[in-house]
Chain A
């Protein structure tokens, strides 16, 4: 069988923008979070978990994790595209990565809403 090179998946722009948008969001969140953490009167477990008690804080922290995982997905997929040649292996790695990242997102929610 002749192996023909196929391209033309017609995506890429959305992920390219998402990678940048998630990066900007993460930078802003990290700065605000660092300021909030440094302004804690004392670094105790009580004060730390108190920081996440508010609904807004939980929401934005969870959003931060979603941004992180989406950003990581695009980055890791880029690495697979560059370095993993057989399409079958790439597909398996994509599926595994998606499952792991979705799992992480669920785990992050569980931790945040337990605090």
Chain B
């Protein structure tokens, strides 16, 4: 049986050596066990060890290997090679500063995530066992807590490209609603105050690129809509 080959076009940039980024072509022979794009990248790196990208769990849980694949953000470890049109064009996540090749500086992304205080705030003394929720209350958190912070959504969002320093972005707002929706959290008013801002929340114009790219099939636009609903119901 003839071996599968795959053509790749990779964004390359090493600020220590290169004046500016360039695209490099590769043709790679795959082994039968290479199913996902990440398998191809790992194989490629064994041939060209100057190539840099992040990866860790290789099964869509850690969110390290987010990249722009043929123009659309996604996780290399969850993307089937066979379904991709060739040459497979790989670029770093758009809008963030490039450190090297496919590795971007995610400081801005995490700054926005931290700004929504992504942890339970509850100052009442702990009950004897635990803070209980009804099954319905717990149900509300489904589709929110699963976010792996890969940044596929925020870096595909034009509003985040224009104002990454001021707009929280889809990932941060999904996390914000995760705690707004949590009946055990007591900081609802502060959280809504923190987001009631023309930049932090209202830069979202429901473009829905975030929903389109999320590798975990989450829906930040719906979460943002629910934050707006909460604001409306406390204002009118």
Chain A residues with CB under 8 Å of chain B are: 5, 7-17, 78, 81-83
Contacts and interface: CB of A to CB of B under 8 A. Distances in A.
Closest 8 CB pairs of A and B: A12-B202, A12-B198, A82-B162, A5-B165, A13-B231, A7-B199, A7-B166, A7-B197
B163 to A, nearest CB: 7
B205 A8 contact: no
B162 A12 contact: no
Contact of B196 (A12, A17, A83): A12
Interface residues on B, range: 20 to 34
B159 interface: yes
A9 B200 CA distance: 10
Contacts of A81: 163, 198-199, 203
Chain A interface, DSSP helix/strand/loop, else mixed: helix
A8 B197 CA distance: 5
A7 B231 contact: no
Contacts of A11: 196-198
B201 interface: yes
Interface in B187-205: 193-194, 196-203, 205
Residue of A5, A8, A78 most packed against chain B (CB within 10 A)? A8
A44 to B, nearest CB: 43
Contacts of B201: 12
Contacts of B202: 12-13, 15-16
A13 B159 contact: no
B163 A10 contact: no
Contacts of A16: 202, 228
A12 B192 CA distance: 12
B162 A13 contact: no
B235 interface: yes
Contacts of B159: 82
A72 to B, nearest CB: 16
A12 B197 contact: yes
B232 interface: yes
Nearest to B165: A5
Interface in B211-235: 228, 231-232, 235
Interface in B71-101: none
A82 B158 CA distance: 9
A12 B203 CA distance: 9
23 contacts: A7-B166, A7-B197, A7-B199, A8-B197, A9-B197, A9-B199, A10-B196, A11-B196, A11-B197, A11-B198, A12-B201, A12-B202, A13-B196, A13-B202, A13-B231, A13-B235, A14-B235, A15-B198, A15-B202, A16-B202, A78-B205, A81-B199, A82-B162
A26 B115 CA distance: 38
A82 B193 contact: no
Contacts of B198: 9, 11-12, 15, 81
A4 to B, nearest CB: 10
A11 B232 CA distance: 12
